[in-house]
Structure 1
Amino acid sequence: MHDTGEVADRRAAVCVIGAGASGLAAIKNLREHGFAVDCYERETSVGGAWNWRHHRSPVYAGTRLVTSRARTEFPDFPMPDTWPDYPDHTRLLSYLERYCEHFGLAEHIWFGTEVVSVVPAGDGSWDVTTQSPGGGASHTQRYAAVVVANGHNWAPYLPEFPGADSYRGRLIHAAMCKDPAQLRGRRVLIVGGGNTGCDLAVAGAQHAAEVWHSTRRGHWYGPRYLAGRPVDQVQARLLRRRVPSPLRRWLYRRALRLVVGDLTRHGVAPPPHRPDLGHPVRNGQLAEYLHDGRIVAVPDIARFDAVGVTLADGRHIEPDLVVAATGYRPQFEFLAPELLDTDAEGRPDLHLHAFARQHPTLAVVGLLEPDAGLLPLAHWQSVAVARWLRLYATDRARAAQVQRRESTRAPRGWSGRRAGPAPRDWFAVESTRYLRALEDLLTRLEPA
């Protein structure tokens, strides 16, 4: 890597890293708060994870939203009313492209440009070094602040399964499974009980010769509709009517008993948590295929051997393809771990999963796993970041006062959901509580 050694000072401008949904929201809201913005995107177009042409995209052919359109759209840019309740990935990409065009964001984006280093430069500013993804000359520019929006679903996490090196079949991460044709006619083991694992198990039931679905622990497998309405809209209506949480949980359990039935009789482990504490899994077809035997539920993998897999209960199965839907780990390759107070497992410690505790001019947008759509939360996150940076630039004494007060707020006050061991659980939030916490912060950031 060749660096010219010169640092171009962009003064009060803000650097945004990534032009996916969260990055686009950050550009828009920073611009609306008067900031000059340079956004760097390693790909040649917008969309991030939702652009399946991008090398790092986890999207596969059948991907659809698991949150409804009304609960996913940006608050200031609605999706078309003619769209289905749960749009597919192609519609969501077109939505993000139109969002970019409508707000004139492309002129602030440097496409085909990868951020390779972000280092403190004193007095809250940052030196950002970029280059083309294939290498070549690098360039460094100085910014007043940095907003990271590089996503957290692009670096596949593949556990070290005992004996996997001896397995003569094929073991891949779900990120490599882009088309159901890859499953056609094969004996497939899907590993992972999240939405991706369930979707692939359903695809296996439709295309594979045989499909097993392995999970380490139980999940609440819910339908996408209740009483003909998207389930997240039903839940939101109950919240608006201030139905007490114990009653909401009882109603949801009752609905699952009626709609989904008892899956434990098919070997599915009972969930160890309340429905509102785990990551929501919504797949109406999974239960149907479990009931009719097209999907066989099995426990965790104990070990691989040359011809197959021994399960935790001692059974031995012989798939010729194993797809690990085991999630992704957040990666910030351009940042030293201590800048985000990252622990040994790679988990950053950020207030509201957004604000770096030791660096007031460094923030992350979109690092969330909510129980509803991410886009509204990313919008209000980026509004909060923009207002915080504006306050920091104009009144540092008051900004320090707000920061001290906010730093004492316990995570349970804005999360509402239990963080589990999986990386996706690290950033779990209950959308309503999280938005209330953001609203409270925005109030404190109002001009005095």
Structure 2
Amino acid sequence: MSTSADHDSHEPVATLWRDGRPVYDRGETICVIGAGASGLAAVKNLKEHGFAVDCYERETGVGGAWNWRHDRSPVYASTHVISSKPFTQYPDFPMPDSWPDYPHHSQLLSYLERYADHFGLRPAIWFGTEAVRAEPADGDRWDVTTRSTGGYGTERTQRYAAVVVANGHNWAPKNPSYEGLEEFKGQVMHASAYKDPAQLRGKRVLVVGAGNTGCDIAVEAAQQAARCWHSTRRGYWYAPKYVLGRPADQVNDAVLAMGLPLRMRQWLFHRMLKMTVGDLTRFGLPAPDHKVYETHPIANSQLVYYVGHGAITPVRDIVRFRRNSVELVGGEEIEPDLVVFATGYLPRFDFLDPNVLGDDGSGRPTLYLNAFPRRHPTLAVAGLLQPDSGLFTLVHWQTVAIARWLRLRQTAPERAGGFQARVESDAGRRWHDAKVKDSTRHWFEVSHVDYLRALQKTLDELEVAA
């Protein structure tokens, strides 16, 4: 665990006060909240731009969601990335050539640990320390209050030049509500509590939700459970992980590089799915009510296989729960022993006033490039993205943009005004050429090509002269 000796040789002096509590001035140091994949990229790129950094991590190690020892990790035993290796890795820290196309979560954790060690990031991280509050202070600065994880120990408030929020958005479960759920006598759990196939063994399992996690759990239930039903609200496009002998996202990226219009790409994708997966309704799956690219891609080569073998029974949406059964749309009733809600997650920033991020009460921040809020130029969010590829490349360049922005405000404030005006006018813009579904699951959906183009334009604009 990091200690004060690891970070500074001089203890800061409390020369400021706020609401009767001392505030320790950290000068031009930047605060980063979270040491997962996004937080590590933020620390690394801020340091490379000459900033001192204090990073607070509530757990005892790096990795965030990819460290399944952490309480908030959504990772389960069989988790692999759904984006292939070239689209998952940081651009300045490639994954080993010997690794498979789709690395296992344990490999991802070792990769993040080596990234932290390679770039010397650990001395900047305070492990076992959670952010309690982050409040605006005079001069566009921030007072950040921290304490030891678990709520014990005294709180400490320090003033920073800026704050980068990287606490992740896949750890606060989105739990649905249904009539009669409280009276249901079977076992109910959210996918966040699912860790091992042994939890399914020999049971009659109902999996609710058709995202990548829901499909993975349904596939494992097909192999371990006595019976598996898979309930979905709508039909989806299930893409195989391999197309033409290559990872599907690499083939998709090659098509994007051709510069074809969206309708042509959708037509090609439909043709590919017709040749590889076929007509989904023939398997009892509902027909999709949207076109390809209008929802987050589902990469699963096994779901249709197990549906076709009768090991997964597709069923419609839930109407209500009864004491010993579940009623579905159309009147069908089933009797599961275990219901797994793979219904996703909601973003939570408990240490921030929601208004700071432009939240209108829905829980959805309003940001430019999913990173910059309108009214607080020294606050940024890293990694609040749901891309159609891997995250690490995008968050690398996103945090470079954040670092350049903070440096430009110091060195050329007259140039910074133009970018701030764009933040105020374009916050909330969607970076996707398709009409993406407006659901909580798709709040942060971006096309990696569109987003990277916007980032490149921003990086050029924010470049600081040597």
CA distance in 1, matches of 2:242, 2:136: 48
Check conservation: 1:191, 1:326, Cα contact below 8 A. yes
* Equivalent residues in 2 for 1:91-110, closer than 5 Å: 91-110=107-126
- TM-score (normalised: structure 1): 0.97
Instruction: Provide, for residues 362-404 of structure 1, a one-character-per-residue CA deviation record: whole Å limited to 9, x for no partner.
Output: 0000000000000001101100000000111222232122211
1:210 to 206, 217, 227: 227
Query: Once structures 1 and 2 are overlaid, which stretch shifts more, 73-82 or 253-262?
Result: 253-262
Match of 1:79 among 73, 77, 95: 95
On the 8 A contact 2:221/2:228 being kept in 1, the answer is: yes
Instruction: Report the 3-state secondary structure (helix = DSSP H, G, I; strand = E; otherwise coil) of the residue aligned with 2:393.
Output: helix
Gap change, CA 1:418 and 1:116, over 3 Å in 2:
farther
Q: List aligned pairs for 1:102-181, cutoff 5 A.
A: 102-134=118-150, 135-181=152-198
Q: Given the alignment of the two structures, is residue 289 of structure 1 paired with residue 329 of structure 2, yes or no?
A: no
Question: Structure 2 unaligned runs (5+)?
Answer: 1-18
Residue 371 in 1 paired to residue 376 in 2? no
State whether residues 277 and 416 of structure 1, in contact with CA within 8 Å, keep that contact through their aligned partners in structure 2.
no
List per-residue Cα deviations over 1:221-271 (Å, max 9, x = no partner).
100000110000011112223344333222211111111111112332222
For 2:412, the equivalent position in structure 1 comes to 395
Normalised to the residue count of structure 2, the TM-score between the two structures is 0.93
Q: Which moved more, 1:137-146 or 1:261-270?
A: 261-270
Cα distance in 2 for partners of 1:333, 1:405 equals 27
* Preserved CA contact (<8 Å) 1:417 1:429: no
1 CA distance for matches of 2:212 and 2:406?
A: 36
- The match for 2:264 among 232, 247, 250 is 247
CA–CA distance in structure 2, aligned partners of residues 308 and 402 of structure 1: 56
Q: Which residue of 1 aligns with 2:344?
A: 327
Report the 3-state secondary structure (helix = DSSP H, G, I; strand = E; otherwise coil) of the residue aligned with 1:197.
helix
Q: Is the 8 A contact 2:387 2:448 kept in 1?
A: yes
Confirm whether residue 30 of structure 1 aligns to residue 21 of structure 2: no
By how many angstroms is 1:411 displaced? 5.5
Q: Look up the SS of the partner of 2:292 in the other structure.
A: coil
Give deviations 1:315-348, integer Å, cap 9, x for gaps. Answer: 0000010000000110000000100011222111
Supply the distance in 2 between the matched residues of 1:380 and 1:156 (Cα, whole angstroms): 28
Structure 1 SS opposite 2:340: strand
| Paired position in structure 1 for 2:60 | 44
Q: Does 1:64 align with 2:80?
A: yes
Cα drift, residue 307 of structure 1: 0.6
Secondary structure of the equivalent of 1:65? coil
Give the distance between the partners of 1:274 and 1:78, measured in 2 at CA.
Answer: 34
Residues 4 and 138 in structure 1, CA contact (< 8 A), matched pair in contact too: no
Equivalent residue for 1:7, pick from 19, 23, 38: 23
> Which segment is superposed worse, 432-441 or 415-424?
415-424
CA separation in 2, counterparts of 1:413 and 1:141? 35
Name the structure 1 match of 2:11: none
1:356 aligns with 2:373: yes
SS for the counterpart of 2:22 is strand
Distance 1:189 1:320 in 2: 8
Separation in structure 2 between the aligned mates of residue 358 and residue 407 of structure 1, nearest angstrom = 8
Count of aligned pairs = 446
Report the more deviating stretch, 438-447 or 303-312.
Answer: 438-447
Deviations 1:62-89 (A, max 9, x none): 1111100011100000001110000010
Offset from partner CA, 1:192-236 (integer Å, 9 cap, x none): 010000000000001001000001111111000001100000111
Q: What's the % identity of the aligned pairs?
A: 58
Segment drifting more, 368-377 vs 130-139? 130-139
The residue identity in structure 2 corresponding to 1:80 is: P
SS at match of 2:153: strand
Contact 2:29–2:52 at 8 Å: present in 1 too? yes
Match of 2:254 among 237, 243, 246: 237
In the alignment, which residue of structure 1 is the partner of 2:200? 183
CA separation of 1:445 and 1:394: change in aligned 2, threshold 3 A: same
Per-residue CA deviations over 1:259-312 (Å, capped at 9, x if unaligned) read: 111111233222222211210000000011111111111111000000110001
- 1:58 maps to a residue whose letter is P
Instruction: Give the secondary-structure state (helix, strand or coil) at the position aligned to 1:284.
Output: coil
Which whole-Å CA distance do the structure 2 matches of 1:278 and 1:253 have between them?
14
Consecutive unaligned residues in structure 1, runs of 5 or more: none
Q: Distance in 1 between matches of 2:429 and 2:353?
A: 27
Q: What is the Cα deviation at residue 160 of structure 1? A: 0.9
Shift of 1:4: 8.8
Contact 1:113 1:131 in 2 (8 A): yes
* C-alpha contact (below 8 Å) 2:368/2:427 kept by paired residues: no
SS at 2:251's partner residue? helix
CA–CA distance in structure 2, aligned partners of residues 29 and 183 of structure 1: 43
CA distance in 1, matches of 2:61, 2:355: 31
Output the amino acid matched with 2:418.
Q
Quote the RMSD (CA, aligned, Å): 1.4
- Contact kept, 8 Å, 1:4 with 1:139, in 2: the verdict is no
Q: Take 1:122 and 1:102, find their aligned partners in 2: how far apart are those partners?
A: 36
**1:16: which partner in 2?**
32
